Amino acid sequence: MADTEAGPVSGSEELKKLEVLAVEVLCGFIETVQARLKTDSDPIQLSDLNLAMSEMMNSGRISKIAEVALTGLGQELRHRWARLLRKDAFGRLLCKPLSPLFEAGKLPREIHHGIRHFARLILGEELERALVAETDKIVAACTERDGVDWKRFYRTAQPIWWQVLVRLPAAFRHFDARVNHMLGILNTQTGQVSLSANVVVRTGRGISRDLVGPAQIRLILAAWVATYDALGEAERATMTAATGFSVNFDELRAELGSGD
């Protein structure tokens, strides 16, 4: 059966929920201020506003409103994440081993674009384009009436993930330098500006706070290496034949094991 990961179609659902929450909180604040005044004609003092704000934040009603609204926002953001990955099947392959870390809150989902950019660097743009095109073909082949059969997709697309996996040991041969490089990528919002039909300038701007630190990079790498450890001998032989790489992860494992 296909896994369609159905969710709200509109991308503005979270904004609607925020508007509802804002109105509810504002109304609650006004009601709290009014309750403190003897008459509607009494002048409002700054002390009244400060006390009303304190009372409102401790109000069970306001807390419940915020809890419901934020739960709805979380659901909408998860649906938006699913919609994003449906449009980027190659990114989905890269992030699949990280799913437990996303779900546990150990990694922020915002690093998706950084992960894609990092993969492009270690693959090279030509190979990355070829792998993305092949991934899209597999998605098309795994699409049924009810949507994409993602379990079938992951099985079929495993050789594409191998092309990334086998390049990790060489990419992290100078471990500390590459970790710092990866940190810079994942903690930067990247984009591009088209100057003409043939000229594109890549841009980047720092995020107000770091999304990840060295510990999170180690979690990412450990999750990726674990996909190799899960392979049987026959699958490892198939991977070597398919990629042309005979890899050894011992050095990378040692670096990961030396962390705090």
pLDDT of residue 234: 95
pLDDT tens for residues 150-182? 899 999 999 999 999 999 999 999 999 999 999
pLDDT of residue 132: 93
pLDDT of residue 177: 92
Cα distances from 5 to residues 11, 85, 86, 175, in angstroms, run 15, 11, 9, 37
pLDDT of residue 134: 95
In residues, how long is the chain?
A: 260
Domain boundaries, the chain: 8-87
pLDDT of residue 144: 86
pLDDT of residue 202: 44
pTM (global) more than 0.85: no
pLDDT of residue 79: 54
* SS3 labels along the chain: CCCCCCCCCCCCHHHHHHHHHHHHHHHHHHHHHHHHCCCCCCCCCHHHHHHHHHHHHCCHHHHHHHHHHHHHHHHHHHHHHHHHHHHCHHHHHHHHHHHHHHHCCCCCHHHHHHHHHHHHHHHCHHHHHHHHHHHHHHHHHCEECCEECHHHHHHHCHHHHHHHHCCHHHHCCCHHHHHHHHHHHHCEEEEEEECCCCCEEEEEEECCCCCCCHHHHHHHHHHHHHHHHCCCHHHHHHHHHHHCCCCCCHHHHHHHHCCC
pLDDT of residue 21: 67
Low-confidence ranges of the chain (pLDDT < 70): 1-18, 20-21, 24-25, 28, 36-48, 52-53, 55-86, 189-209, 259-260
- Parallel, antiparallel, or unpaired: how do β-strands 147-148 and 188-194 relate? unpaired
